Amino acid sequence: MTDRLTIRRPDDWHVHLRDGAMLQAVAGHTARQFARAIIMPNLTPPVTGIAMAQAYRDRIRAALGEDVDFMPLMTCYLTDHSDAEEIAAGHAAGVFTACKLYPAHATTNSAHGVTDILRLTTVLETLQRIGMPLLIHGEVTDRSIDIFDREAVFVERVLTPLTRDYPALKIVLEHITTAEAAAFVAEAAHPIAATITPQHLLINRNAIFDGGLRPHAYCLPVLKRETHRLAVRRAAVSGSPRFFLGTDSAPHVVGAKESGCGCAGIFNAPFALEAYLRVFEEENALDRFEGFASEHGARFYGLPLNDGTVTLVRKAVTVPDRIGDVVPFLAGETLGWRFEG
């Protein structure tokens, strides 16, 4: 039995570091485990331009302090009015790594998102031409579609035609939760990949209603039924380079979660690698963990692999009930691996 696992330093390809006091509180958790992270732009107001992204990147670096070796990779929040030239200039200048498409009103802070993908024609042509990835929150927002079906319907109605219309556009379907999304990404004759969160690997929708309403198990896309969890697990441990780590760590203060209208989002950054490793161990796939955590994402983005390593050891670690004002994922549970650094 392996008791120590040393892998190349990993990256988190989808994280919310927020701003202000929350940024101060959470940034260190991500920087402790990951060398780089794709920083989500859904602040209020959203990060839509070069100057905003540079200022946000500076705030992230300031929150971490000089000595911390962590590279925030910034993203541009797309709106109906996004400017393709600004995006291309930001990419050329090394400010923007990718663009993020939130269908309007699909999730937290997406009110300024895109109302109709047809408005993005010039932007998408530009991304395709310059090889800049498009990251997608893949849910339709049609309120007549059942919330548990919104991802599968997005794959059929939006993603399928999008890949036809832009055959060379690099796409990352974020935080996949369904068998349909996993199959589409695995099989498409298209440069497409997907990130997978720890929660969608470890729990199913029963967790939201386990003996009562559990706001800390609520995120978007919402957890699905067990068959989908199993399909997403198979994708994660398959060794396919199209699937990689993206925590979607999305902290909200406890009062915003435990509310009559609680926010969507699960804060999993503090024990992210430990949580993923539980899955890879249960699936007898420890040998595939490094690819998922440290290689597939960088290769898809066309970025160098990290130097250096991190080690996890087989030691019990109990997730605290609270970290600051936030309830972490798996609060109170004991995990079998511990991140050593």
Ligand X SMILES: NC(=O)N[C@@H](CC(=O)O)C(=O)O
Binding partner of residue 33 among Zn ion, ligand X, none, CB under 5 to 8 Å per kind?
none
222 Cβ partners below 8 Å, 6+ apart?
147, 148, 177, 205, 208, 264
**Position among 137, 190, 257, 296 found at the interface with ligand X (CB under 6 A):** 137
**Position among 25, 220, 272, 310 found at the interface with ligand X (CB under 6 A):** 220
Binding partner of residue 11 among Zn ion, ligand X, none, CB under 5 to 8 Å per kind?
none
Task: Return the ∠ at Cα 74 (arms to 70 and 80), rounded to 5°.
Answer: 165
Cβ of residue 189: shortest distance to ligand X, in angstroms?
27
Handedness of CA 218, 220, 222, 226 (dihedral sign): negative
Binding partner of residue 42 among ligand X, Zn ion, none, CB under 5 to 8 Å per kind?
ligand X
Element (H, E) at 212: none
Q: Does 219 bind ligand X (CB under 6 A)?
A: yes
Whether residue 248 lies in the annotated active site: yes
Q: What would the x/- binding string for Zn ion be over residues 105 to 124, using CB under 5 A? A: --x-----------------
Q: What would the x/- binding string for ligand X be over residues 236 to 255, using CB under 6 A? A: ------------x-x-----
Judged by CB under 6 A, the stretch of 82-90, 102-110, 113-121, 281-289 that binds ligand X is 102-110
Question: Residues annotated in the binding site for Zn(2+), as ranges?
Answer: 14, 16, 100, 137, 175, 248
Helices 84-92 and 121-130: crossing angle in degrees, nearest 10, is 20
Q: Does 75 bind ligand X (CB under 6 A)?
A: no
The catalytically annotated residue of 116, 248, 307, 321 is 248
Cβ of residue 69: shortest distance to ligand X, in angstroms?
26
Q: Does 138 bind ligand X (CB under 6 A)?
A: no
In the window 243-282, what residues touch Zn ion (CB under 5 A)? 248
Cβ of residue 125: shortest distance to ligand X, in angstroms?
26
Judged by CB under 6 A, the stretch of 101-109, 127-135, 183-191, 281-289 that binds ligand X is 101-109
Q: How far is CA 238 from CA 292, 299, 336, in A?
A: 9, 17, 22
List for the chain the helix, strand, coil content (%; round to 5): 40, 20, 40
In the window 279-338, what residues touch ligand X (CB under 6 A)? none
Cβ of residue 107: shortest distance to ligand X, in angstroms?
3
Task: Return the ∠ at Cα 200 (arms to 195 and 201), rounded to 5°.
Answer: 90
Strand 71-77 with 338-339, pairing: unpaired
d(CA 202, CA 14): 18
**Euclidean distance between the first and final Cα of the chain, in Å?**
21
Cβ of residue 264: shortest distance to ligand X, in angstroms?
3
Task: Return the ∠ at Cα 197 (arms to 284 and 315), rounded to 5°.
Answer: 50
Q: Which is nearer to Zn ion, 12 or 248 (CB)?
A: 248
Q: Does 107 bind ligand X (CB under 6 A)?
A: yes
- Residues touching Zn ion: how many (CB under 5 A)? 3
Element (H, E) at 117: none
Q: Nearest Cα to 7, choosing from 298, 331, 301?
A: 298
d(CA 1, CA 110): 46
Helices 20-33 and 50-64: crossing angle in degrees, nearest 10, is 70
What residues make contact with ligand X under the rule CB under 6 A? 16, 42, 107-109, 137, 219-220, 248, 250, 264-265
User: Interface residues with Zn ion (CB under 5 A)?
Assistant: 107, 137, 248
Catalogue the active-site residues.
Answer: 248
